[in-house]
């Protein structure tokens, strides 16, 4: 077959299967637990090449199938083997606008790497590390080829929010020749990539670089605009002349546990804790002004089992916590966090307490948190979500001293836009209703995607939604053009 | 970048700014606030909108220098810029015809109470204002308040202006006369709590504007949560105005004390050399606006 001869891999499949998966260099756990620098150091070229040699070039690659944006992994790996790292990066960019980001934060064990044939008997190819390698190579080389955009269409699109969904959408729309204007509520661009995900997992510099690239391609960014407050969707479409709007405002309001004592000083939502640490750089206080109730030499408990919980607990370690623990109401098996994050947290010395649920926060007379009262649980019958729901064990209450508690119990929909946009349909839980295939909402010209539609999910799923939205927005704008032509024809006749 | 078009001192440590922020100027309603950040290393602080001129595209804020950011902000003059200002945030004041509305404000709280008083007057209420301060040199916007009020009482702790005594003394007198239908109290927490206590026995509708600590101001972080009717409410999106009879003021005071130590440390750092901090801020703002110009040129080319 021609595909075989095109391969740059000199090894036979037998030889490839025998190669061990390359271990990515990391900062030592004892060292990294005390700094905010990136944990994974990334492959050097030699290791990237070595890992690429393991790919057996399946005729029907499961990795591509399992990728929410269908990156052509096989072709990328072959370009790495050919030594054409920039070409490999360009190949990723055909389907993924933010490879340096996804290469760091994608839950690959459920996506590309879960589709890798090698994973059935041994370990899958380290696809995320390879993606990150080519993206970093490209950024550090400074050879950034800006893809050519289509001629200007004269159509204006407003993107609400500057997180992963919006950035992916912006990349595609600008390429199609549309005018793209991104509105961000905060003072810094990047959404969850800058306020949520910590520096040690995704350096801000990388996010800024991707945004600079979009800016150079002509995307306009405006910070400090809270759509729903500063301007409404109807005003954007009416007075400001936007032809289409993409709402990608993210997950929204933090959920608390609704247990007594949540107002004590020292109890945080994970959103607030991470926003102070990441967006506001409170870990660099007093050089940065934003304060944080100190974790140093204190016992910190994080309630929850998702990536946000892992980010919070690992941040508190880095802030000098005496002890940092995860309290989760189910077992490790049910934890929604990425396996790698849980593993990293364990290596760094995070304590895990499973099958426990806080029932009350306790504080001193001045209102500062001193302890949390919990109850032990056991797994009962599977519930509606097919997960076995935990049942409290009577009489098993216990009290653990802690001075900082961070609640990472998920989020609910922020109603800001829904409540200020007439005729925008929402779900029972308050998220925006959007057509699964087109992401069109009930309002003509208005599309929505990412966490504001699905509820809390992943960066790559949001990016997938952004790309899907770009495609249907493009179709919608074309339909406006042909409608306008029809009107002209009628007028001429 | 948001240019300061006018700046003038109103009282000791209190300064008024008019800032070019056309989007906010166009949308703001009485009772709402903005969040301001001065520098790349700066914190986000909520500040009251005292007024706005949509045609000129400016918003007016009145700032009391109490923390590092407000101290630094009050060193700025017309011609300087504010790095970030976002808003209008929070729910606007409820404007209805209540009958007789009493607006009680303490010092800089008058800036927030003033636009609501004006709207209440326009809505047909009889507006009685009680403006309080520790001393004459801390009184602000007294003339503006007089202009929109049917009656105005000035109260100072030391008697240097108006009548000597607390605002609650005057409020109690009015309540005793039995003609009050609505009370808005804006000021320090103990003052608002005391006003709530005065009106509680007769169940007079009393609204307070809560100044809790915020970060994003859009409901995302929950840091500004206050206990209202024994449940958590977010001051930034559910407020800032709440029914005073349901507010747990002790929890508000406790939560507002959360960062006292760090706040003190930041102030000490600023006060060690305020002029060089100001110079640094101005240089960074200049660099930032040059970078913005460059980016704009690149886009238009």
The ipTM assigned to this model is 0.93
Residues in A touching B25 (Cβ below 8 Å):
none
Q: What is the pLDDT of residues B241-273, one digit of tens each?
A: 999 999 999 999 999 999 999 999 999 999 999
B181, B205 in Cβ contact below 8 A?
yes
User: Which of A251, A270, A290 is the best substitution to test chain B (most B C-beta atoms within 10 A)?
Assistant: A290
Cβ within 8 Å, pair A215-B295:
yes
- Name the residue in chain B with its Cα closest to that of A251: B220
User: Which of B20, B23, B72, B220 is the best substitution to test chain A (most A C-beta atoms within 10 A)?
Assistant: B220
For residue B295, pLDDT beyond 70: no
Q: What is the pLDDT of residue A4?
A: 47
B224, B238 in Cβ contact below 8 A?
no
Q: How far apart are CA B172 and CA A296, in angstroms?
A: 48
Q: What is the pLDDT of residue A1?
A: 39
- Name the residue in chain B with its Cα closest to that of A267: B223
- CB under 8 Å to B236, separation ≥6 — which residues? B46, B89, B90, B214, B216, B217, B218, B219, B224
Q: What is the pLDDT of residue B263?
A: 94
CA distance B290 to chain A (A): 16
DSSP B245: G
Q: How far apart are CA A38 and CA A278, in angstroms?
A: 13
Q: Which of A230, A256, A263 sits opposite B87 (nearest CB)?
A: A230
Q: What is the pLDDT of residues B73-121, one digit of tens each?
A: 999 999 999 999 999 999 999 999 999 999 999 989 999 999 999 999 9
Q: What is the pLDDT of residue A109?
A: 86
Cβ within 8 Å, pair A230-B83:
no
Cβ–Cβ pairs < 8 A, chains A and B: 126
Q: According to the 3-state scheme, what is the secondary structure of chain A? A: CHHHHHCCCCCCHHHHHHCCCCCCCECCHHHHCCCCCCCECCCCHHHHHHHHCCCCCCCCCHHHHHCCCCCCHHHHHHHHHCCCHHHHHHHHHCCCCCHHHHHHHCCHHHCHHHHCCHHHHCCCCCHHHHHHHHHHHHHHHCCCCCCCCCCCCCCEEEEECCCHHHHHHHHHHHHCCCEEEEECCCCCCCCHHHHCCCCCCCCHHHHHHHHHHHHHCCCEEECCCCECCCECHHHHHCCCCCCEEEECCCCCEECCCCCCCCCCECEEEHHHHHHHHHHCCHHHCCCCCCCCCCCECCEEEEECCCHHHHHHHHHHHHCCECEEEEEECCCHHHCCCCHHHHHHHHHHCCEEEECEEEEEEEECCCCEEEEEEEEEEEEEEECCCCCEEEEECCCCCEEEECCEEEECCCEECCCCCHHHCCCCCECCCCCECCCCCCCECCCCCEEECCHHHHCCCCHHHHHHHHHHHHHHHHHHHHHHHHHHHHHHHHHHC
Q: What is the pLDDT of residue A2?
A: 40
Q: How far apart are CA A150 and CA A20, in angstroms?
A: 44
B223 touches chain A (CB under 8 A): yes
Cβ within 8 Å, pair A265-B87:
no
User: Which of A190, A229, A406, A452 is the best substitution to test chain B (most B C-beta atoms within 10 A)?
Assistant: A229
Cβ within 8 Å, pair B84-A253:
no
Q: What is the pLDDT of residue A207?
A: 94
pTM: 0.91
Confidence of residue B293 (pLDDT cuts 50, 70, 90): low
With a cut of 50, list the residues of chain A below it in pLDDT: 1-5
- Name the residue in chain A with its Cα closest to that of B227: A263
The residue ranking higher by pLDDT, B30 or A460, is B30
A217 touches chain B (CB under 8 A): no
Tokens of A319: 């802030």
Q: What is the pLDDT of residue A68?
A: 84
Range 61-120 of B in CB contact (< 8 A) with A: 68-69, 83-89
Q: What is the pLDDT of residue B28?
A: 95
Cβ within 8 Å, pair A367-B255:
yes
How long, in residues, is chain A? Answer: 493
Q: What is the pLDDT of residue B247?
A: 97
Nearest to A73 by CA among A110, A113, A45, A39: A113
B24 touches chain A (CB under 8 A): yes
Confidence of residue B294 (pLDDT cuts 50, 70, 90): low
Cβ within 8 Å, pair A287-B85:
no
For residue B297, pLDDT beyond 70: no
| Nearest-10 Cα torsion for B10, B14, B20, B23 | -110
């Amino acid at each position: 077959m021609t595909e075989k001869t095109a391969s740059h891999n000199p090894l036979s499949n037998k030889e490839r299967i025998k190669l061990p998966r390359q271990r990515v260099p990391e900062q030592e756990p004892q060292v990294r637990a005390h700094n905010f620098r990136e944990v994974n150091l990334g492959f050097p070229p030699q290791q990237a090449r070595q890992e690429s040699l393991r790919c057996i070039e399946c005729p029907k690659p499961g990795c591509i199938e399992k990728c929410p944006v269908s990156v052509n992994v096989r072709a990328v790996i072959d370009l790495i083997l050919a030594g054409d790292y920039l070409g490999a990066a360009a190949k990723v960019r055909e389907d993924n606008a933010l490879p340096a980001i996804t290469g760091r934060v994608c839950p690959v064990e459920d996506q590309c790497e879960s589709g890798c044939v090698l994973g059935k008997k041994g370990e899958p190819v380290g696809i995320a590390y390879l993606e990150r390698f080519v993206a970093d190579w490209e950024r550090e080389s400074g050879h950034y080829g800006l893809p050519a955009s289509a001629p200007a269409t004269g159509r204006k699109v407003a993107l609400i929010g500057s997180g992963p969904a919006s950035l992916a959408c912006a990349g595609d729309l600008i390429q199609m020749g549309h005018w793209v204007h991104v509105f961000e509520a905060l003072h810094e661009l990047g959404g969850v990539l800058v306020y949520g995900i910590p520096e040690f997992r995704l350096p801000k510099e990388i996010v800024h670089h991707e945004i600079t690239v979009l800016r150079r391609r002509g995307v306009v960014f405006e910070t400090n605009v809270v759509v729903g407050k500063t301007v409404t969707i109807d005003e954007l479409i009416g007075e400001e002349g936007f032809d289409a709007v993409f709402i990608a405002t993210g997950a929204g309001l933090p959920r608390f546990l609704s247990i007594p004592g949540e107002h004590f000083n020292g109890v945080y939502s994970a959103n607030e804790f991470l926003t102070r640490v990441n967006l506001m750089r409170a870990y660099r206080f007093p050089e940065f002004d934003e304060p944080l109730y100190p974790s140093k030499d204190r016992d910190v408990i994080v309630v929850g089992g998702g990536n946000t919980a892992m980010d919070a607990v690992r941040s508190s370690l880095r802030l000098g916590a005496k002890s940092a623990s995860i309290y989760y109401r189910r077992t490790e098996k049910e934890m929604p966090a990425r396996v790698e994050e849980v593993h990293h947290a364990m290596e760094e010395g995070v304590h895990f307490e499973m099958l426990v649920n806080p029932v009350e926060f306790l504080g001193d007379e001045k209102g500062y948190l001193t302890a949390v009262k919990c109850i032990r649980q056991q797994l009962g019958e599977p519930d509606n979500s097919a997960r076995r729901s935990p049942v409290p064990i009577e009489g098993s209450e216990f009290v653990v001293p802690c001075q900082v508690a961070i609640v990472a119990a998920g989020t609910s929909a922020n109603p800001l836009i829904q409540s200020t946009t007439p005729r925008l349909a929402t779900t029972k839980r308050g998220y925006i209703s959007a057509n699964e295939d087109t992401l069109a909402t009930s309002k003509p010209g208005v599309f929505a995607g990412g966490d504001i539609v699905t509820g809390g999910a992943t960066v790559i799923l949001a990016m997938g939604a952004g790309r899907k939205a770009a495609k249907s927005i493009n179709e919608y704008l074309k339909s406006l053009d042909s409608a306008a032509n029809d009107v002209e024809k009628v007028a001429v006749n | 970048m948001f240019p300061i078009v006018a700046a003038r001192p109103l009282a000791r440590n209190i300064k008024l700014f008019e800032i070019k922020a056309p989007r906010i100027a166009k949308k703001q309603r009485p009772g709402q606030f903005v969040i301001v950040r001065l520098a790349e290393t700066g914190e986000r602080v909520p500040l009251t909108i005292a007024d706005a001129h949509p045609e000129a595209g400016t918003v007016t804020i009145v700032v009391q220098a109490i923390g590092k950011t407000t101290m630094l902000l009050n060193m700025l003059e017309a011609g300087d810029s504010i790095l970030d200002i976002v808003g209008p945030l929070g729910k606007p004041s409820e404007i209805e015809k209540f009958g007789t509305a009493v607006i009680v404000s303490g010092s800089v709280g008058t800036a927030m109470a003033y636009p609501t008083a004006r709207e209440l007057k326009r809505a047909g209420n009889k507006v009685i204002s009680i403006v309080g301060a520790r001393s004459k040199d801390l009184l602000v916007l007294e003339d503006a308040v007089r202009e929109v009020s049917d009656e105005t009482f000035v109260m100072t702790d030391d008697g240097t202006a108006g009548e000597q005594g607390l605002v609650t003394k005057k409020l109690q007198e009015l309540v005793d006369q039995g003609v009050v239908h609505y009370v808005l109290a804006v000021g320090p927490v103990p003052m608002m709590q005391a006003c709530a206590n005065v009106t509680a026995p007769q169940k007079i509708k009393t609204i307070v504007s809560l100044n809790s600590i915020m970060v994003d101001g859009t409901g995302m972080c929950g840091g500004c949560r206050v206990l209202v009717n024994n449940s958590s409410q977010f001051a930034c999106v559910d407020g800032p105005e709440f029914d005073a009879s349901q507010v747990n003021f002790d929890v508000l005071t406790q939560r507002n004390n959360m960062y006292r130590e760090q706040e003190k440390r930041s102030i000490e750092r600023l006060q060690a050399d305020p002029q060089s901090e100001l110079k640094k801020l101005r240089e960074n703002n200049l660099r930032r606006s040059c970078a913005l110009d460059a980016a704009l040129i690149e886009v238009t080319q």
